[in-house]
DNA sequence: GCGACAG
DNA sequence: ATCTTGTCGC
């Protein structure tokens, strides 16, 4: 899948302005459309250099079997700034997506969707650029308040930010810390939460992110 | 002003 | 994010 992005911001203020502009295009009220291929994306970083590896793995929505995968190694341009993660990771992820043979229907990101200071996290950004459904699944909290969800697998609590429900703290496995799910684009909080749980039948994190994480690290090491 | 702060 | 194997516990 090809994604083109011009005039990539170089400063924090430019990046924030870009988020303000693109955030108007986000749609989190449309239910998730029928889907067959789910993609998981992640980025691995090298220690003493600016080298990074973006990875994407495509799974069958029903069996979670791996149908395709791709990687892209490059140097990072943008520094890590909370709230501007997309500008640091998207280039490598977009490059990896361009190498896919199987066209994914939904993109699962490592990070947040609308649960973001300006309602425009990495998942929203990728969703708008790709014009496809996206959601974010993060391991730790970023913005918003939430009540501790029940201890059973599948129990969830609303993630509230600025008086709005922007996601959910979801318990994917019994007695494990919850993961934070938020819609990115063309999906609702409910559908994103349901899909995240479906993708995590055995471990705390969705298979999509687990596999993408492993793939990105392997790609980084192989590029050494 | 201070602390927090996705990866 | 990254440094990192085995090991303690359910």
Domain presence at residue A7: no
Taking the CA of residue A52 and the C1' sugar atom of nucleotide C4, their distance in angstroms comes to: 20
Q: State, as a whole number of angstroms, the distance between the CA of A115 and the C1' of B1.
A: 26
What is the spatial distance, in angstroms and rounded to an integer, between the CA atom of A82 and the C1' atom of B3?
14
Res. A65: pLDDT tops 90: yes
Residue A2: Cβ within 10 Å count = 8
What is the C-alpha to C-alpha distance for residues A194 and A197, in angstroms, rounded to an integer? Answer: 5
Whether residue A145 lies inside any domain: the answer is: yes
A134 part of a folded domain: yes
CB A104 within 8 A of CB A1: yes
Whether pLDDT at A150 is above 80: yes
Instruction: Note the pLDDT tens digit of each residue in A14-52.
Output: 999 999 999 999 999 999 999 999 999 999 999 989 999
d(CA A39, CA A97): 9
Q: Could you tell me if residue A12 is inside a domain?
A: no
CATH number at residue A124: 3.30.2170.10
Structural domain total, chain A: 1
The answer for residues whose C-beta is within 8 angstroms of residue A78's C-beta and 6 or more apart is A9, A10, A15, A84, A87, A88
User: Does A121 contact strand B, using a CB cutoff of 7 Å?
Assistant: yes
- Minimum-distance nucleotide, CA of A52 to C1': C1
Residue A162 is labelled as binding a ligand:
no
Nucleotide nearest to A80 (CA to C1'): B7
Q: How far is CA A223 from the centre of its chain?
A: 24
Quick one: pLDDT band at residue A223, thresholds 50, 70, 90?
confident
Contact A39, A57 (CB under 8 A): yes
Contact A55, A216 (CB under 8 A): yes
Residue A96, in any domain of the structure: yes
Give the per-residue pLDDT at A179: 96
pLDDT of A224 > 80? The answer is: no
Least confident of A155-164, A200-209, A215-224: A215-224
State which residues form the domain around A128: 27-222
A4 domain residue, yes or no = no
Which nucleotides of strand B come closer than 7 angstroms to any CB of the protein?
5-7
**Residue A155 belongs to a domain:** yes
Is residue A180 assigned to a domain? yes
Q: How many angstroms separate the CA of A167 from the C1' of B2?
A: 28
């Amino acid at each position: 899948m090809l994604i083109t992005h011009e005039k990539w911001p170089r400063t924090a203020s430019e990046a924030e302005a870009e988020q303000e502009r693109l955030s108007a295009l986000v749609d989190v009220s449309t239910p998730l459309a029928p889907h067959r291929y789910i993609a998981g994306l992640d980025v691995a970083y090298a220690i003493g250099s600016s080298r990074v590896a973006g990875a994407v793995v495509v799974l069958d929505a029903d069996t979670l079997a791996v149908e395709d995968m791709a990687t892209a190694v490059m140097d990072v341009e943008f520094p890590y700034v909370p709230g501007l993660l997309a500008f640091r990771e998207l280039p490598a992820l977009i490059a990896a997506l361009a190498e896919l043979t199987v066209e994914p229907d939904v993109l699962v990101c490592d990070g947040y969707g609308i649960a973001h200071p300006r309602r425009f996290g990495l998942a929203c950004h990728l969703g708008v650029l790709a014009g496809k459904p996206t959601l974010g699944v993060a391991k730790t909290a970023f913005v918003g308040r939430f009540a501790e969800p029940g201890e059973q697998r599948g129990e969830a609590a609303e993630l509230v930010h600025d008086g709005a429900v922007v996601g959910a703290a979801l318990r994917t496995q019994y007695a494990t810390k919850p993961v934070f799910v938020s819609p990115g684009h063309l999906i609702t909080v409910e559908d994103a939460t349901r899909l995240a749980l479906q993708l995590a039948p055995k471990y705390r994190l969705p298979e999509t992110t687990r596999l993408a994480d492993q793939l990105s690290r392997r790609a980084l090491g192989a590029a050494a």
